[in-house]
Every structure is written in structure tokens, then in C-alpha cells.
Amino acid sequence: GYERYFVNAQGRNITDDHLFINRIIRIPCIDIIPDEGEDGFGSFWHTTNDTMEVIDKSTLKAVGQTVLAVIYSEF
């Protein structure tokens, strides 16, 4: 039921600091990046306003429940 969050369509590439955390330090992580604007990041990105409050609660719920569903189906 979260098709509006996980659209099966090709988008554009976005590279940020998480790429290097994943590849070099090998800490698995994901990004929740709004697909808005030219650069894909909000005006709050990497500022003191970049806090949990700027993440949409519905988006966070969709991501969390989807991750749990994958974990429970894989193990």
C-alpha cells in the first residue's frame, strides 16, 4: 500500500555523503531524500535545521513498515 512512496520508475542519480559511508566505511545506511527541486535536497540539508522534524511522518512510517516487512519475509 505504499506505491506513492516507492514509485517504480527511473529517476536521476543523486550522490551524497552516504555513498562513501556505505562503500568506504561499510556502514549500511539509506537516504530518505525528497525528489524536489533541482538538486533533490531540501533547503535544510546539512544545516542546523536538518533534524528529524523535517522528515514527513507518513514517509517515515512507509519506510519503516516496508523495511520491517522485508526483514520478516527474509528471516
Residue 35 pLDDT > 80, yes or no?
no
What is the pLDDT averaged over residues 30-42? 70
pLDDT at position 37 is: 59
- Do residues 62 and 2 make contact, with C-beta atoms less than 8 angstroms apart? yes
Residue 72 to residues 8, 14, 21: CA-CA distances in angstroms?
A: 22, 29, 26
0.95 exceeded by pTM: no
Q: Considering the chain, what percentage of its residues have pLDDT values greater than 90?
A: 33
Q: Retrieve residue 27's grid coordinates.
A: 556502514
